[in-house]
Amino acid sequence: MKSPAKLFFGLIGKRENIEALRGEIEKFGSIDAKSEIIPFNFTDYYEKEMGKHLKRQWVSTEIIIEENSLKDVKKRSIEIEDRYRDSDKRIINIDPGGILLSRVVLPTTKNYAHRIYLGDNIFIEVTLVYKDKLFQPLPWTYPDYKTETALRFFNKMREKLKSQVIVENSEKN
């Protein structure tokens, strides 16, 4: 595998919706780690659609995918969000991503200067880079991805990815 990425999902919504929709995430693969749930008070972007007092959590799956597969995972995540709409409003935001040894990447439908087009209206950005033995934010990194909770989670998942890749490689030999 050229660019193995540990599949994760960033969830934003009411606590009960985050907990209820974890089953949808498990359709991609068993959840092997969860961050603590933190208040999502970094922007009011989702408030009109999902209400106030939103929460944020990251969950990781045991699945290792090719980085370029994230486009399809993003499209499937959008379908899940759409299936659970209430009065045409999302009840949860599900953002997949990939943890690589050198970076954390996020697919998105929003174009911007630092994002690369993958096709099918999906772009991808590098949001964290691995430097000085830790993931580090970039100027455009979302504020919630700069929190201690996020950075602790992604650094821990990078270590898990390293072990998974070592095991996977040893099984091939």
Q: Are 161 and 101 in contact (CB under 8 A)?
A: yes
Enter the tokens of residue 107.
């697919």
Question: Which residues are CB-contacts of 64 (< 8 A; sequence separation ≥ 6)?
Answer: 1, 4, 5, 6, 7, 161, 164, 165, 168
Give the number of other Cβ atoms within 10 Å of residue 45's Cβ: 12
Mind listing the pLDDT tens digit for each residue in 89-106? 999 999 999 999 999 999
How many domains in the chain? 1
What domain range is 64 assigned to? Answer: 4-172
pTM: 0.93
- Calpha distance 61→10 (Å, rounded): 12
Q: Give 10-residue mean pLDDT values along the chain (173 residues).
A: 91 93 92 96 93 96 94 96 93 96 97 95 97 97 98 97 77 58
